[in-house]
A = this chain, B = another copy of it.
């Protein structure tokens, strides 16, 4: 049932900002968390329409932005020109492997790489706020 903790975080955020709880937001949150992967606004919108024909694209768009602002989702761009959102795993960070043939997206994490990133940044006088690492290539089943 999605992460209850994530839902709590969103509800707290809404309360804090004086935002209202609506049927649409509940439905969108539920569907977003249950799918979990790297959805574009369009994809999520189409999914939601199957069960909720009256929901509007603009609402999905606005709600995803809310999720991102609240911190329970992150916006990504993988170079196909449209934004994608993924549920953020609260504390943990990860990067992506993307198959250029079938589009499969695999998440990974490597603290050694992160460490080296910090080092490089320090050498150039930067303090890192966030980073983006994407490896594009061909997955096993596509070969």
Closest to A118 in B: B135
Question: A132-B132, A132-B134 known; A97 and B126 CB under 8 Å?
Answer: yes
Determine whether the beta carbon of B136 is less than 8 Å from that of A128.
Answer: yes
| 8 tightest A-B CB contacts, nearest first | A125-B140, A128-B137, A126-B137, A131-B135, A129-B137, A132-B134, A133-B133, A113-B116
Can you list 26 pairs linking A and B with CB atoms under 8 Å apart?
A77-B77, A97-B120, A97-B121, A97-B124, A99-B126, A106-B124, A112-B116, A113-B113, A113-B116, A113-B120, A116-B116, A117-B133, A117-B135, A120-B135, A125-B140, A126-B135, A126-B137, A126-B140, A127-B143, A128-B135, A129-B136, A129-B137, A130-B136, A130-B137, A133-B133, A133-B134
